[in-house]
Amino acid sequence: METLRQQGFSAALQNQALILGVLKRYQITPAHPEFDDYYQESLLTYVAAYCQYQRSHQHISQANYIYTKVRQRVIDLLRQRDCYTRHFGADRARE
């Protein structure tokens, strides 16, 4: 029997279009130097949101719930990166 987390990973891998769509919305394409990092964070966020949705049975659709969680996480990462870049400069942000 699969655990809930395993089901979440299976669902995320089957629904990569949702993750890639969120990343594309913020101009994070495979050509982006940090695409892999953003993709992995989005994948883990998808799994966490999937598990949370299954436990709580929200009153919105599962796709909308997960999309919103992944989108919010990407926005948080972009803001964090922007703040770090402004504080330390562009050279230190890539280290």
- Judge whether residue 60 has pLDDT over 60: yes
| pLDDT-derived band at 2, boundaries 50, 70, 90 | confident
Alpha carbons within 13 angstroms on the beta-carbon side of residue 68 total 9
pLDDT: which is higher, 82 or 72 = 72
Share of the chain above pLDDT 90, in %: 74
Long-range pairs, 15-21, Cβ under 8 A, ≥24: 15/46, 18/46, 18/63, 18/66, 18/67, 18/70, 19/43, 19/46, 19/70, 21/67
89's tokens: 């400069």
- Judge whether residue 89 has pLDDT over 80: no
The model's pTM is 0.85
Rounded Cα distance between 23 and 19, Å, is 6
